[in-house]
Structure 1
Amino acid sequence: ANVVYTYDGTESDLLQNVNEVSKYIEHHMDYQRPRLNVLSDYYEGKTKNLVELTRRKEEYMADNRVAHDYASHISDFINGYFLGNPIQYQDDDKDVLEAIEAFNDLNDVESHN
């Protein structure tokens, strides 16, 4: 899981304490970086089992498995959903826009987007 590194003290105290900074960096390199590399590989469609392992016991037969990058599609979709631009409504008739706004307020549309 993600680890949030915290330090009780000021920034200058932390910069003076080289051992503490080294401990954070070492922990990140040993535990966080490998996990992030695996997640990055999944995002890029480099599934570990597909790349490293073979299902066939006979070397002369085909191993027809296909790599996919569903993780990138899912991540990009979710990021677009949360960080994208909201829907905008335009109409020349002011009454239509007021009706749409009243409908959206009645259904609390903003809480669903």
Structure 2
Amino acid sequence: MDRVAAVVIALFVIRAGWDILESGMRVLLDASIDRGTLEMIRSIIEEAPEVVSVKEVVARNSGRYLFVEASLVFRLRDLQRAHASATRIEESIKKEVPAVGRIIIHYEPM
């Protein structure tokens, strides 16, 4: 019975060690985030009425934080209004995805 218990405990230790190693490798390699979170961020951006199209949205993990970068086309030509709109989009993303530490939005007019 001791041998069986030792094998079960060893399997738990190996599993926990693998999980720690895997998460550490993601941090060190700047791994990208899961597709579901990326699609949620993209849909939040597309909901903004000023956004004509989303050229690109990329995100990566760095520790427990997510860094997001988006390239957007706005209907706006006024730089102040475009900046205000980008700030609103950033706040919406941070509210829906709390792990986001930094968002960079590149915007251009139609």
TM-score normalised over the length of structure 1: 0.32
Q: Which structure carries more helix by proportion?
A: 1
Q: Which structure carries more strand by proportion?
A: 2
Higher RCO structure (Cα 8 Å, ≥6 apart): 2
TM-score normalised over the length of structure 2: 0.33
